[in-house]
Amino acid sequence: MDIEIIAKAFKELGHTRLAIFKRLVKSGEQGIAVGIVQEELQIPGSTLSHHISSLASAGLIKQRREGRVLYCVVEYEKLLSVIAFLQDECCIDEQ
């Protein structure tokens, strides 16, 4: 995977965004309603919206609407590719 894509993913995982992303990961493939994330993490709505937008622009999450409820779902394929990027060269200098 391109290092620029990986760098953007890491850039978007600052302190608050990492907490949000971790909560989204826990929700699994079905995702979680934004309102629940806001309530659990006690983040103001406008702030949460900004962070979610950044995570989505990095391709780490996607959103879906069901009626009036907005859900966030982790892009697990992207997450795994970021992890693989780091693992691919693990300990390569020891060989």
pLDDT of residue 91: 86
Single-letter code of the amino acid located at 37: V
pTM: 0.85
pLDDT of residue 95: 66
Residue 87 has a CB neighbour count (10 Å cut-off) of: 10
pLDDT of residue 3: 87
Report the side by side order of strands in the sheet with 69-74.
Answer: 32-33, 69-74, 61-66
| β-sheet bridge partners, residue 33 | 71
pLDDT in tens, the chain (95 residues): 688 888 888 888 888 999 999 999 999 999 999 999 999 999 999 999 999 999 999 999 999 999 999 999 999 999 999 899 889 888 888 86
Domains with residue ranges and CATH for the chain: 3-87 (1.10.10.10)
Over its C-alpha atoms, the chain yields an Rg (Å, rounded) of: 15
Structure tokens at 48: 């949460």
pLDDT of residue 29: 95
